Amino acid sequence: EVVPTCERYAVRRLPFARLADGDVAFFERLMPGRVVTGEEEVKPFNVDWLKSVRGCSQLVLKPQTTAEVSQVLRYCHERNLAVNPQGGNTGLVGGSVPVFDEIILSTALMNQIISFDKVSGILVCQAGCVLERLSEYLEEQGFIMPLDLGAKGSCHIGGNVATNAGGLRLLRYGSLRGTVLGLEVVLADGSALDCLTSLRKDNTGYDLKQLFIGSEGTLGVITAVSILCPQKPKAVNLAFLGCQSFAKVLETFTTCRVMLGEILSAYEFMDEKCMELVERHLKLSSPVTDSPFYVLIETSGSNSTHDEEKLNNFLEQAMASGLVTDGTVATDDKKIKVLWGLRERITEALTHEGYVYKYDISLPVGKLYDLVTDMRARLGQSAKNVVGYGHLGDGNLHLNITAESYSHSLLDAIEPFVYEWTARCSGSISAEHGLGFKKKQFIQYSKPHQAVVLMQQFKAMLDPKGILNPYKTLPSAL
């Protein structure tokens, strides 16, 4: 059983109103049959995907329209009731579940595709659309989503945007800050802000959507998204390679960037410990073995002959110069999926290890693995495993430390050491997962005091009563 977050972290409840029978009656009139109150029914919404934090909400609301979200927030604002917006609940920093008894506002039923323009590649949809469903819909039209992540089967596009999710395609298509063209957002007082433009160029005043991208539900509830989608590549190739050292992983990246150029769409790495866990816990087997590091290189282009020739030239060079000791190439969908599974399912494999301390860090690429090595030396036998993997192409390390169960002394050995180490390298303590509940007190390692104060001023202006996703993202007091 997961200890309630407020008890484990000794957080104080802010003076919000308590839920009353009259409140539940109001919501039941507003959306009959879409109000969840039973203890067992509410339970899954209270616990995060990692089962590491747990709230005590007694009420889940499932609106279907922006108008309903507006009415819910207007009512909660008047009553001073705190609200926890929730998408697919796949977050890894405790941002998507309540800390106390906040009302959970689930976007699960806001799953309509509003429009898709085949000429421009612009998709407009509600925030509760599941990423994988959007990908499937677009593929039928000859397009793809510009983002892809391991949780695609359950994460919502609204949650992706609210957390500015990064994922596996960022190297090629950039972040959501570039591909999201417009948003519809409901503010804390219930007013709807329609910035759902479908224009690639719009230079009229401040770019308000950027405030909400990455705001983790603390400034407004995203209800619809307009996003630019690239054409589906005609040719996709995947190379899965073994490297003998991290220096070779880096050199392979430099070489492949030069030789593959515009067709390079992903460059992922994982250490041998990751591979061991994926094989042991998920019974997956790797076609490449006995390497300290593994690299996954994806190319996406419009001409398979051209792409394969480029990839083969690169592989010949990498093998001949000793950068790579072993490897396999996949061109058919089935084999590509199997190889991606080895990388995408590491998070899942880690959950079988007991308790996982997760860190998602941006660092200068050359220093990326030094943190894993230093952490192993620091923790010694007190941790079960210390593993490193991630999006090497954009300098994003996922550092994971496992133990049989949660231990405060182990946490003290990891934090703030991991953040101090990152700050010394001018890195970011959260590359793509956000700050949520777990990391908010460490924001100063990546942002100057003045920037945090400005963020708090934005929060106070847009959510004066502080009812939206309280206890998250911004530090309680600096």
Q: What is the pLDDT of residues 172-221, one digit of tens each?
A: 999 999 999 999 999 999 999 999 988 899 999 999 999 999 999 999 99
Query: Using H for helix, E for strand and C for coil, what is the string for 168-209?
Result: CCHHHHCCHHHHEEEEEEECCCCCEEEECCCCCCCCCCCCCH
Whether residue 478 is predicted with pLDDT greater than 60 in this model: the reply is: no
Closest by Cα among 220, 225, 227, 129 to 473: 220
Name residue 262's amino acid.
E
The whole-number average pLDDT for the span 245-267 is 96
Q: What dihedral angle (degrees, nearest 10) is formed by the CA atoms of 146, 147, 153, 157?
A: -80
Q: Across 62-146, where does the E strand assignment appear?
A: 83-86, 103-106, 113-117, 122-126
What are 183's two structure tokens? 């948003």
All structural domains of the chain: 5-106 (3.30.43.10), 113-228 (3.30.465.10), 233-350 (3.30.70.2190), 353-467 (3.30.70.2740)
Q: What is the pLDDT of residues 351-373, one digit of tens each?
A: 999 999 999 999 999 999 999 99
- Alpha carbons 333 and 335: distance in angstroms, whole number: 6
Q: Is 294 helix (H, G, I), strand (E, B) or coil?
A: strand
Kindly give the pairing relationship between strand 180-186 and strand 122-126. Answer: unpaired
Q: What is the pLDDT of residues 115-126, one digit of tens each?
A: 999 999 999 999
Q: What is the DSSP letter of 156?
A: B
- DSSP characters for 42-53? HHHHHB-TTS--
pTM: predicted TM-score of the whole model, two decimal places: 0.94
pLDDT value for 102: 98
Contact 239, 297 (CB under 8 A): yes
What are 267's two structure tokens? 């460059």
Contact 53, 6 (CB under 8 A): no
